[in-house]
Amino acid sequence: MTTHQKQNESENTMSNTEVINKRVGVKHLGSDRPTDSLLIAPGTTAREILNELKLDPVGFQLSDARNPDIVFRADDNVFARVSDGDMLHAAASVIAGAEWAA
């Protein structure tokens, strides 16, 4: 699960009994909201990250900031697909080809 962490708290742990977490940044595209910094644990999904950020997993999606073609589905294991220090983008979901009624 994700947890907002203060900068003076411990980052990653490396003992045999403790879990090694990863820190990721989440930039909110199209918003003045500041970039969030989160510690994520093994198995953390996109849905859990969006929930932690108080964003609706149905209305928002996460993508890889270095390769925006990589979009995470809500149940994707983000932890397994990012490195410590990576940046993600949070953006409103868009349905390609959708027609809007006038």
Tens digit of pLDDT for each residue in 57-72? Answer: 999 999 999 999 999 9
* Measured distance CA(29)–CA(102) in Å, rounded: 26
64 vs 100, more confident: 64
Q: 10: pLDDT confidence band, cut at 50, 70 and 90?
A: very low
Amino acid at 64: D
* Measured distance CA(16)–CA(47) in Å, rounded: 28
Tens digit of pLDDT for each residue in 17-76? Answer: 566 999 999 999 999 999 999 999 999 999 999 999 999 999 999 999 999 999 999 999
Take residue 7 and report the two structure tokens written for it: 């900068």
Architecture of domain 20-92: Roll (3.10)
